[in-house]
Structure 1
Amino acid sequence: MKHELLEALEQLEREKGISKALLLETIEAALITAYKKNFGSSHNVKVVIDENTGDVRVYSRCEVVEVPEEDSFDIALEDAKKRDPNYELGDIIDEEVTPRDFGRIAAQTAKQVVVQRIREAERSIIFDEFVDRESEIVTGMIQRISKGTVFINLGKTEAVLMPSEQIPGEEYPQGGRIKTFIVEVNKTSKGPQIVVSRTHPGLVKRLFELEVPEIFSGEVEIKAISREAGSRTKLAVYARNQDLDPVGSCVGPKGTRVQNIVNELGGEKIDIVEWSEDPAIFISSALSPSKVDLVVIHDDEKSATVVVPDYQLSLAIGKEGQNARLAAKLTNWKIDIKSASQYEKIVSGTGAGTETAEK
C-alpha cells in the first residue's frame, strides 16, 4: 500500500463523499483482523497506516502493571523500566511486529474494504436522496417486468411497481417512460427499495401541482381527492383569493391542463369541483355532473339526503354506484340519493327505496 492507495482514497473522498480518514480507520481495523487470522496472534495489536507514505506497520501493545496476571500480555513495571526508566504504571508500550510479507495481505484487505465501503456509501447516498422524496413524482424508464411486477430505471437505482399499485388494464411497454408516485423508501441489504404507485391519489395531486401554476404557488389548494384508478377521480379545490376561479385554473385554457393529466393517466376521467365549508354545497358539487335539487344534512349521523330530478338519478348514482361512492369519499359524508318522486313519497309518508353511498 503506497501512494497509489492514498491517491485513490483522496479521489473517493472527492467523488463519492467518503471520508478518507474514515476509510483509513476501517482499513486499519480490517488489517488487525487479517493479522490475527494469518499470523495466529491473539495479542493486543494495533495497525498504523502512514498517511504520507502509505506504509503499514503492526504494533504489539502491552500495559505497564505492577505484576502481570498469568496469560496476560502486560509487562511488569520492573521489566519496563529496564527498557526505559521513564515508564510508569498504566503506560502503553508499542513494539513493532510487522511481518515481512504483510504488505501483500494489507493490499488485498484494503481493496476489499474500499470496494465494500464504496457500495455502502453509494447505497446510503441513494437512500438519503430518495427517502426525502417520498410522496413525490419520479419519472423513469420501464426496464423489465417479472411476475407482474414492473421494475423502473430511475438512473442511479430502480423503483418497484407492484401489481397492486398498477392501474387496471394499463400496459407497461419495456423502454417506455412513466411517471409514478413514491409510496415508501426502504433500506435493505441489497440497497434502497423504492416502492412506487400509479393508483395512489397522491399521483393525481402531484400531477396537478406540476400542471397548474396556481396550485404550485399555493393560490389554489387541493382540499380532497377520491380516486378509483383507471376509471374516475374527483378533486375538490379551493381558492384563497375570491377573485380566482379554482376550477377554471385546474381545467386550464380550452381544458388543456386537465387534459394533459387525463392523458398521463391513460384516459382516466377527472371531475373537478369547488370545495365549500358548507357541507350541503360541497356535497351538491361533489355529485357533479348530476344536478341536485336539495341536500338535507343530518349532523348527528354525518349523513346527507340528496334529492335529484328523476331523470338525473342514474347520473347521480353513476355506473355501479361509482359517482355516489366517489362523492361520499370526497366529502367524507354518508350520502343517500333519492329522486324527486321518491323523496315526495317519503315526505308524504308512502315510503320509497333509496340509494346510499358509504364514505
Structure 2
Amino acid sequence: MDLKTLTSAVMEIAEDRGIPQEKVIKIIADAIASAYKKEYGKKRQKIIAKLNPKTGEVKFWQVKQVVTEDMILLEEEKPASAKATAGEEKIRFNPERHIMLEEAKKIDSKIKKEDELKIPLKTKEDFGRIATQTAKQVILQKIKEAEREEILKEYKSKEGEIVSGIVQRVEPESIFFDIGKTSGILPKSEQIPGE
C-alpha cells in the first residue's frame, strides 16, 4: 500500500469533511475488512481489520464469541421459550461466529464466557473487483454517516438559538437556507407571518 497516498488521502478526507483522522482510519479499516470478508471470508463470519497509518500495514482477525453449553439453543428447544442461565436469550451455535469455552481456552487461557476471541488471519492485499467495489461503497457510506454525526454534534448545541444563513430557495411550505456546513429548513409554522 502506498503510504504517502494513504496518509494524504486520510488527511484530505478528515479536513474536507470535518471528521477526526482516527475516525477516517477506522472507516478505511472497516472497508478493508469488508472487502477481505467478501473475497476470502465465509458467510456469517465477523472479520475486523486494523490499519497502521504510519506503515500502511493491515492486520486481520476473525472474531468469535465464547460460549458454553448452557448458552446454546438445542434443536428440540423452541427459540421463543429458551432462556440461558442469566436470563438471556440462548443462541443458535454457528462455528463461524461462536467458539466453545474449552476450545477458546486452548488459544487464550484467560478468556471467559461471553468474551470475544480474536483469531489472527493471513494478511492478503489482493482483492477482486467486487470486493474492491464493496470497500468503496462501505467507505462512502460510513464517511457520509460520520460527516452527519459531526454536523449534528456541532449544531445540536445551537438548538433553540437564532442562527444566520443565506436563503437558497423559497417554497410555499418552507424556506431552504445555507448555514455553513449544512443546509437548514424553516417550515411555514416557524416563520414570522408576512415575512
Q: Place the TM-score, normalised by the shorter chain, in its bin.
A: 0.5 to 0.7
Output the CA distance in 2 between the equivalents of 1:59 and 1:126.
Answer: 32
Deviations 1:216-262 (A, max 9, x none): xxxxxxxxxxxxxxxxxxxxxxxxxxxxxxxxxxxxxxxxxxxxxxx
Deviations 1:4-50 (A, max 9, x none): 12321134445555333333333333333333333452456443434
Output the CA distance in 1 between the equivalents of 2:63 and 2:148.
Answer: 37
Q: Does 1:96 align with 2:122?
A: yes
Query: CA 1:105–1:49 in structure 2 vs 1: closer, same or farther (change >3 Å)?
Result: farther
Query: CA 1:7–1:168 in structure 2 vs 1: closer, same or farther (change >3 Å)?
Result: closer
Query: CA 1:20–1:104 in structure 2 vs 1: closer, same or farther (change >3 Å)?
Result: farther
> Are 1:59 and 1:94, in contact at CA under 8 Å, matched by a contact in 2?
yes
Q: What does residue 163 of structure 1 align with?
A: 188
> Are 1:27 and 1:109, in contact at CA under 8 Å, matched by a contact in 2?
no
Q: What does residue 34 of structure 1 align with?
A: 35
Output the CA distance in 2 between the equivalents of 1:139 and 1:124.
Answer: 21
Deviations 1:192-235 (A, max 9, x none): xxxxxxxxxxxxxxxxxxxxxxxxxxxxxxxxxxxxxxxxxxxx
Output the CA distance in 1 between the equivalents of 2:63 and 2:183.
Answer: 48
> Are 2:174 and 2:186, in contact at CA under 8 Å, matched by a contact in 1?
yes
C-alpha root-mean-square deviation of aligned residues, in Å?
Answer: 4.1
> Are 1:28 and 1:49, in contact at CA under 8 Å, matched by a contact in 2?
yes
> Are 2:13 and 2:24, in contact at CA under 8 Å, matched by a contact in 1?
no
Output the CA distance in 1 between the equivalents of 2:149 and 2:140.
Answer: 14
Q: What does residue 56 of structure 2 align with?
A: 54
Query: CA 1:128–1:139 in structure 2 vs 1: closer, same or farther (change >3 Å)?
Result: same
Deviations 1:104-123 (A, max 9, x none): 66765554444334433333
Q: Which has the higher contact order (CA 8 A, sep 6+)?
A: 2
Q: What does residue 9 of structure 1 align with?
A: 10
Query: CA 1:111–1:44 in structure 2 vs 1: closer, same or farther (change >3 Å)?
Result: closer
Structure 1: gaps spanning 5 or more residues = 63-70, 78-87, 171-359
Larger radius of gyration: 1
Letter in 1 for 2:37: K
Deviation of residue 57 (structure 1)?
4.8
Aligned length: 153
Q: TM-score, normalised by structure 2?
A: 0.54
Structure 2: gaps spanning 5 or more residues = 65-93, 109-117
Query: CA 1:53–1:108 in structure 2 vs 1: closer, same or farther (change >3 Å)?
Result: farther
Output the CA distance in 2 between the equivalents of 1:104 and 1:6.
Answer: 23
Q: What does residue 26 of structure 2 align with?
A: 25
Q: What does residue 151 of structure 2 align with?
A: 126
Deviation of residue 61 (structure 1)?
7.5
Q: What does residue 91 of structure 2 align with?
A: none
Output the CA distance in 2 between the equivalents of 1:123 and 1:148.
Answer: 25
Output the CA distance in 1 between the equivalents of 2:40 and 2:63.
Answer: 16
Letter in 2 for 1:139: S
Output the CA distance in 1 between the equivalents of 2:50 and 2:130.
Answer: 14
Letter in 2 for 1:90: I
> Are 1:2 and 1:55, in contact at CA under 8 Å, matched by a contact in 2?
no
Output the CA distance in 1 between the equivalents of 2:17 and 2:30.
Answer: 21
Letter in 1 for 2:153: D
Query: CA 1:110–1:54 in structure 2 vs 1: closer, same or farther (change >3 Å)?
Result: farther
Query: CA 1:129–1:52 in structure 2 vs 1: closer, same or farther (change >3 Å)?
Result: closer
Output the CA distance in 1 between the equivalents of 2:140 and 2:32.
Answer: 15
Q: What does residue 136 of structure 1 align with?
A: 161
> Are 2:32 and 2:49, in contact at CA under 8 Å, matched by a contact in 1?
yes
